[in-house]
Structure 1
């Protein structure tokens, strides 16, 4: 009876090919980090550079979908995208898990939870996808988020490369924001994550009962949150709070 098991020589050749393939991937990823750093040094931050970086990340790490976003007024503004994410310029409210992940001081960790608000994928998501969300921060201050969806899990080494890239992105985007004064969301830091959720929904004009149903809390608790929002932001009434929320990028169709 023939023996179909691989010979030692075949196993050795397979192991060698696998090692070479892993080595080539590692060199490519290291080169990506080096080239991105050089471009930042020579030319500085630009949306074109971010799109190039995201495209390279998706290609090298096998991500079908990806985005780079920047925190802006309590929302994440898409700066670069690939696959089934929202278009560049779209704003995603920092609600639920997003608000928790970017709560300051930001923790240096990767989050594997699937967040539907980041993507335009169908409601039913295949079970074999792998989600990675890495905070972009500078000195533990939230700057944005890098999010990827891959078909295969990423190695610890690949995640370390992404961590390093997020660190460079944090310094670049934070410096750009400070220089241009485009982003001024310091008042949002006065609000708790739950208060931010209520604040983001105020432009809808919904009643306390509807807001409560949306957030899974009682109308009385919603009322308390709104009173605290008005006090913390030095606003006179709910209408002023709704206007400020619109200025921050939250839309009237938040419900």
Structure 2
């Protein structure tokens, strides 16, 4: 009996290192697979840029790959222009491609120049059509990363993930934000658009109103969208017409379309 008792702990102590070793091996294999997926992402991105250059379809592919790798059912890539963020690629419960979101509140702070790379986890209702359940623990983690070139704002990458992102994942996103920023900056330089000096005549709030004019919405609807009164919207429209030397609201809407703003901006 005493001999059996003396030998009984041996199987337990022998299995513990084996279990830890198997766990470490599985974890190492998983990390290796993640690294391979990241490398393939950069490899294909580089090949596509080399052969075909930048395109909106490539941008959507990048977002789809990130969403798959990081378990992000909701994601978007947006470009800053005239006080708003234009959706260039999207997945899940956010606004459609082409929609413009005024840069107010947290968005304006995050993209205030000079920009340093930071990861913002605050939920911003204006970016998403998904509302988190009230009074419950969040099931999705929000990540908003500025896209910039030489500390100048270019846009915003946003993801909602089912699991927290690791420092290695955030480092990958940082690198991609740099590549995307450079590509967007180059595409903006070559695109035909309104002279920036025209938009410079408008205040930030006037630019936001100007960007929404192609929608044809009433002052009341625009006021609700921007969180101000219809009377204030009317004043902004009158100032826009005066500063841009336009006769009426229709001409202003046409000028806004020429600037790249679309009718689905609401």
TM-score interval (norm. to shorter): 0.7 to 0.9
Superposed displacement of residue 31, structure 1: 2.3
Match of 2:227 among 214, 221, 226: 214
TM-score by length of 1: 0.76
Query: Contact (CA 8 Å) 2:98, 2:262: kept in 1 or not?
Result: no
Partner in structure 1 of residue 29 of structure 2: 20
Superposed displacement of residue 86, structure 1: 1.4
- The separation in 1 between residues aligned to 2:265 and 2:44, in whole angstroms, is 41
Superposed displacement of residue 9, structure 1: 0.8
1:177 aligns with 2:188: yes
- The separation in 2 between residues aligned to 1:189 and 1:73, in whole angstroms, is 9
Superposed displacement of residue 67, structure 1: 1.0
1:116 aligns with 2:125: yes
1:205 aligns with 2:216: no
Partner in structure 1 of residue 144 of structure 2: 133
Aligned residues: 243
Query: Contact (CA 8 Å) 2:99, 2:265: kept in 1 or not?
Result: no
Match of 2:47 among 38, 41, 66: 38
Task: Give RMSD over aligned pairs.
Answer: 3.8
Partner in structure 2 of residue 156 of structure 1: 167
SS of 1:181's equivalent? coil
TM-score by length of 2: 0.73
Query: Contact (CA 8 Å) 1:96, 1:197: kept in 2 or not?
Result: no
For the pair shown, the structure with the greater C-alpha radius of gyration is 2
Decide which moves more: 97-106 or 153-162.
97-106
- The separation in 2 between residues aligned to 1:215 and 1:16, in whole angstroms, is 58
Query: Contact (CA 8 Å) 2:75, 2:159: kept in 1 or not?
Result: yes
Query: Contact (CA 8 Å) 1:68, 1:144: kept in 2 or not?
Result: yes
Decide which moves more: 149-158 or 92-101.
92-101
| 5+ long unaligned stretches in structure 2 | 1-7
Superposed displacement of residue 198, structure 1: 7.1
